Amino acid sequence: MTFDLFVDTSRKGISMALLETGAAHYTESIDESARGETASAMLDALLEKAGATLDQVTRIMVTLGPGSFSGLRTGVAFCEGLSFSGKRKLYGVSTLAALACFADAPESAAVVIRARKDYWYLRLNGKESFIETAQVVEALKAHPVKTVVVDEAALADETLQAAFKETGAATLLDKGQPLSKWGKLFDSVTPSLMLEANYIQPSYFEKLH
């Protein structure tokens, strides 16, 4: 019996999930207030809940951002440490690509999540951008999609809501979706022990502007 481990620290807190390879045995743990120092304890608790051991984990998938600097640094370093022995393969994926997997047809879905006030991270047609609200609306009108994966901020934004309605796109909230859906990315990502976080926009941007 082997397991895949999914780790996301690019959004709020830490999310982890274990999926038994080739089976439906799935266990997840989400703590939006968790910090880096609690990652090991969360993993221990998750393994115990799943009735698994770390030796049974053969693949790890971790999100590389966009997201908070400290969160991404913690997640990547933690997963690199787990993979350093060579007993398991490490896969780093864009957070936006991972969120797109929540849609039934990820390749034709868009993702819109908040970067900062009036700015958003957009994934559309495989391209990822850091753009203003008006640019998101323009892009969605130029390339309509059936589904847009959104965070709570995007779902609450009146301008974006109007654009979703005008283009006929259904919205899918990123919360409450199983991380195991990210497993389809294993086939398109090359494993690597050394990963770099994907910062679409530097964390210091807001301080300078």
DSSP assignment of 146-205 equals: SEEEE-HHHHH-HHHHHHHHHHTPEEEESTT--GGGGGGGGGTS---SS-----SS-TTH
Residue 207 pLDDT grade (very low, low, confident, very high; cuts 50, 70, 90): very low
Mean pLDDT of 164-183: 96
Q: What is the pLDDT of residue 184?
A: 93
CA nearest neighbour of 192 among 101, 75, 86, 95: 86
One of 3.10.130.10, 3.10.310.30, 3.20.20.150, 3.30.420.40 is the CATH number of 3-95+177-208, namely: 3.30.420.40
Q: What is the pLDDT of residue 205?
A: 46
- Fold (topology level) of 103-173: Nucleotidyltransferase; domain 5 (3.30.420)
Which DSSP letter does residue 88 get?
A: S
Q: What is the pLDDT of residue 202?
A: 53
Confidence check: pLDDT of 152 > 60: yes
Mean pLDDT of 113-129: 95
Instruction: Answer for the pair 52, 1: CB distance below 8 angstroms, yes or no.
Output: yes
Tokens representing 58? 């053969």
Domain(s) of CATH 3.30.420.40: residues in the chain: 3-95+177-208
CA nearest neighbour of 62 among 108, 110, 125, 17: 17
Name the pTM for this structure: 0.93
Domain(s) of CATH 3.30.420.10: residues in the chain: 103-173
Mean pLDDT of 70-80: 93
Instruction: Answer for the pair 95, 130: CB distance below 8 angstroms, yes or no.
Output: no
Q: What is the pLDDT of residue 209?
A: 41
Q: What is the pLDDT of residue 203?
A: 47
